[in-house]
A and B are shown apart, each in its own frame.
Chain A
Amino acid sequence: DVKVTQSSRYLVKRTGEKVFLECVQDMDHENMFWYRQDPGLGLRLIYFSYDVKMKEKGDIPEGYSVSREKKERFSLILESASTNQTSMYLCASSSLGRNTEAFFGQGTRLTVV
């Protein structure tokens, strides 16, 4: 059974804090993604990675960075959390190539106060 695991289901952080969201997949997938979901805006891609130590900006990378030191782990970092980063964060992974689906984690509901 494929599995993408996000370290926290719910997180509350203060404005200005540095926040780490962790994601681990056990499917040996090359690609990993971070999305955020907001009402009326759907899923928007923040960053993705197609290999260890490789990363590419998505559609809304501002205010975020990522780290991929090991193939199975992809971290999203909020350098200085702000209230407009309150959102549902979703990690996903997929294998290389076309015609493949992405598998999602259960999501992290982050609230910045």
Chain B
Amino acid sequence: DQQVKQNSPSLSVQEGRISILNCDYTNSMFDYFLWYKKYPAEGPTFLISISSIKDKNEDGRFTVFLNKSAKHLSLHIVPSQPGDSAVYFCAASARSGGSNYKLTFGKGTLLTVNP
């Protein structure tokens, strides 16, 4: 049973336009959400995160929105650049016994930004 879902396997946008990547989750115990970016043959790198007490977090060109009632979050990239082309993973954190937390990842969305 997939607890973090990225329903779009791929997304293609023009350079300069907005990219919107979506993520849905089912586990109401998730309280911290993250986006990672991954290039081929490299490990994922952390991009941006949001706590469940917020509904928006912004960092430069990247903004993450959280709608708790809909169990939905999205990553907006404005303006999109060719270097943003990568696989983007949505991740959610929940307690796993004691004070430990573990991340659950979605399947990823391949973003292609065309020049």
Contact = CB atoms under 8 A, between A and B. Distances in A.
Interface of A: 4, 9, 31, 33, 35, 40-45, 48, 50, 56, 58, 90, 92, 94, 96-107, 109
A104 B107 contact: no
B102 A45 contact: yes
Interface string B69-99: 0000000000000000000010101011111
A107 B42 contact: yes
Contacts of A31: 100-102
A101 B9 contact: no
Contacts, number: 70
Interface of B: 6, 9, 31-32, 34, 36, 41-46, 49, 51, 89, 91, 93, 95-108
Given A92-B43, A101-B46, 20 more contacts: A31-B100, A35-B105, A42-B105, A42-B106, A42-B108, A43-B44, A43-B89, A43-B108, A50-B98, A56-B97, A90-B44, A94-B101, A97-B99, A98-B31, A98-B95, A101-B34, A102-B46, A103-B46, A104-B44, A106-B42
